[in-house]
Structure 1
């Protein structure tokens, strides 16, 4: 097989998780090489990735002579390589889906920024601040609006790249700020995402690993 995904630690690499999920949901065969991105080996390992991928980061998908880097590009490629079902056929709905993916990719990390993906796997979670609780509730309300507008069961109707993009964020937010009964559609959607077989496969591996503690988590 010539198609290889360079991924990262299951309990730390949220961007690789997104790329991996898109490939798996599209039933695309690939070999996976997990790159250890823990410190201090992180720097050498990512420098090695930089020898064939300009960002020197994971994920990277090598398909024959093509090197596809950045999770969004890999997700789009997976959609096109598969049956195209992860983007709606309707032009405006497709643009809405891409907008949601772009939001996650660009600025969504600022939402509860101290609640990292790694922290979703900590046995002892910190108490979220009032600001973090409010930010999470704001996001839940936006997801609720999306689900109402498009009728579910996923954000734009059928499972899409938008849902896949938000899986790691669902995990980190829900682990600290459980969604309330005010947002029933969001609560059901989050549970539906987490219960998907490929998500469960990744999480089973992630929970089996030693936690990777981020500096400042318990003091923030």
Structure 2
């Protein structure tokens, strides 16, 4: 296990005792914030009705419930066993959900098997090399019309719970844009596929409730490069 993985595992072992919303958001107002932000974030997603969805960093299932309502299938992944167990308690009755307790870097999925990948507060617990590996895998797993939605805490800590140590990596939006711009997958036909930005912006719930614009989301699409030209990673802002 890498030093980064050891630190992150230790961190979440200390913050996953209860399997509740407060732990998920690492904020004393977690329960108050959660329902509002879920509604907002679901509105940013593309149509996934009867589609195959992968949820990374599923936690206790705050978004799993919503995804399963429309999706054909949902693979809900988290590396904390008690979070997965809590998710099963809440959503286990849905036959279209597969629950996987595993490090996302160890996932092995078929190429071109997914329509939507949903990731919430995950990449900040991976180092840069691990993020690059995961982005490449996600690009490979997505179908040609596939979409990737991810949301991260940028710049600094947002939750107000006291922590003895915090190894979380608070990247800037530009750092995430640079990483994604470098990801290229060559498919079996020899064509190069990359990510193209659809939209990005700050989560309005955090602006309104905490005066915090550092919660950032991105929606990317899988796109074929034209003669090897780089994909568009220009900033297309949803909100300020």
| TM-score normalised over the length of structure 1 | 0.33
Q: Which has the higher contact order (CA 8 A, sep 6+)?
A: 1
TM-score with structure 2 setting the length: 0.31
